[in-house]
Amino acid sequence: MARVGRLAGAILAATGGEFFLIGNTKEPCDFGAAGFAPPGAIDALARPYLRLCALRPLEIAPPCLTLELEGEALALALADRLLIERNGSVSERLWRLLMDPSGQDDFPEDRAVNARWLGEIPAPLWSIVRDTVLRCL
């Protein structure tokens, strides 16, 4: 089971012993301190996800999501579903929807949220959800 969290505003996915950074970071990141070799230039508009090289054993701690998708299919699905197309950043509105569907801003600080459905929802249906959430209010 894959675990998905955040790193410097981007998405960090752990799957089958591999790590992927999805989207652009939103703040400076000391990748070495986080346990990864620096990935070089990050440009999610050109490449929505990067494979990271772990420097030590790592685990994504809660709060996080769990999904059954694995490998690059997971990274691609997360990029497709959660990145803002015009800038390659993670949509905070969509992330909050996944972490707290009730909308109460009650992130589960100590647990993993089962988001298996995100990998199973048909793309056209997610597109409707995505467009509704991202619509300017």
**Please, which pLDDT band fits residue 33 given cuts at 50, 70 and 90?**
very high
Report the number of distinct structural domains present in the chain: 1
Task: Classify the C-alpha dihedral 127-122-107-24 as positive or negative.
Answer: negative
Q: Cβ(30)–Cβ(44) under 8 Å?
A: no
Which pLDDT belongs to residue 136? 66
Average pLDDT, the chain: 92
**Those residues with Cβ within 8 angstroms of residue 113's Cβ, 6 or more apart along the chain or in another chain:** 63, 64, 65, 66, 98, 99
CA nearest to 46, candidates 82, 72, 85: 85
Q: Which residues, in sequence order, are bridge partners of residue 12?
A: 5, 21
Which pLDDT belongs to residue 137? 57
CA–CA distance, 18 with 32 (Å, rounded to integer): 16
Which pLDDT belongs to residue 114? 92
Q: What is the mean pLDDT of residues 11-39?
A: 96
Structure tokens of 75?
A: 């990274």
Q: For 28, left (φ over 0), alpha (ψ -120 to 50), or beta?
A: beta
pLDDT in tens, 113-125: 999 999 999 999 9
Percent of the chain with pLDDT over 90: 77
**Please, which pLDDT band fits residue 90 given cuts at 50, 70 and 90?**
very high
pLDDT in tens, 62-80: 999 999 999 999 999 999 9
pTM of the entire structure? 0.92
CA–CA distance, 84 with 48 (Å, rounded to integer): 10
Domain residue limits at 95: 2-134
**Please, which pLDDT band fits residue 108 given cuts at 50, 70 and 90?**
low
Structure tokens of 84?
A: 């803002």
pLDDT top residue among 95 and 134? 95
